[in-house]
């Protein structure tokens, strides 16, 4: 009982701190279902902070049906007066109860971005989104994630 109360308190606190819209409901088996909605602006902040590149001066996130389109400009390291265009597609999914982020078609002026950098972005984006979207403990498993032009919706179940 104490564990359930702590889980509920943690979920409520996390939702208040993250400013996500959330619906929390108790299931017949005592678990909690937490459905959160993340706006385009919140997702843009997560992606910007996950990339953490001071040369990226403008990053735009566009929610599409089923995926996220990201475009931006990156200042050149050797010539601050010039910028390059960057873009990638971000797909969000579920694997073994965890959130996954998969970037594809990542390019800067038509040249593929290094795979080790993209892999790091994938992991960082997934971790940060999981935190702000309702994963309050290792006992929370992601049931579903969907991307619409209006928002990203995730449904988590927190075990007893």
Rounded mean pLDDT, 99-108: 96
pTM of the model: 0.82
**Alpha-carbon span 83 to 76, nearest angstrom:** 6
User: Which candidate, 156, 142, 159, 160, places its Cα nearest to that of 15?
Assistant: 156
Per-residue pLDDT tens over the stretch 81-103: 999 999 999 999 999 989 999 99
CA contacts within 13 A on the Cβ side of 120: 10
Q: Cα-atom radius of gyration of the chain, to the nearest Å?
A: 17
Per-residue pLDDT tens over the stretch 43-61: 999 999 999 889 998 899 9
158 exposure class (CB count in 10 Å sphere: 0-12, 13-18, 19+) = buried
**Alpha-carbon span 133 to 18, nearest angstrom:** 8
> Residue 142 is part of which domain span?
2-158
CA dihedral (11, 37, 97, 47) in degrees, to 10, reads: -100
User: How many domains does one find in the chain?
Assistant: 1
């Amino acid at each position: 009982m104490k564990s359930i109360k702590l889980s509920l308190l943690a979920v409520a606190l996390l939702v208040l701190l993250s400013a996500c819209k959330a619906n929390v409901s108790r299931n017949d088996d005592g678990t909690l279902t937490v459905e959160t909605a993340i706006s385009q602006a919140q997702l843009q902040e997560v992606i910007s902070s996950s990339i953490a590149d001071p040369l990226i001066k403008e990053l735009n996130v566009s929610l599409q049906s089923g995926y996220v389109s990201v475009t931006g400009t990156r200042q050149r390291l050797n010539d601050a007066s010039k910028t390059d265009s960057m873009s990638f597609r971000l797909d969000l999914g579920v694997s073994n109860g965890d959130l996954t982020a998969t970037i594809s078609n990542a390019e800067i002026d038509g040249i593929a971005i290094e795979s080790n950098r993209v892999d790091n972005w994938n992991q960082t984006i997934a971790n940060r989104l999981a935190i702000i979207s309702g994963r309050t403990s290792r006992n929370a498993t992601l049931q579903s994630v969907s991307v619409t032009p209006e928002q990203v919706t995730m449904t988590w179940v927190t075990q007893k």
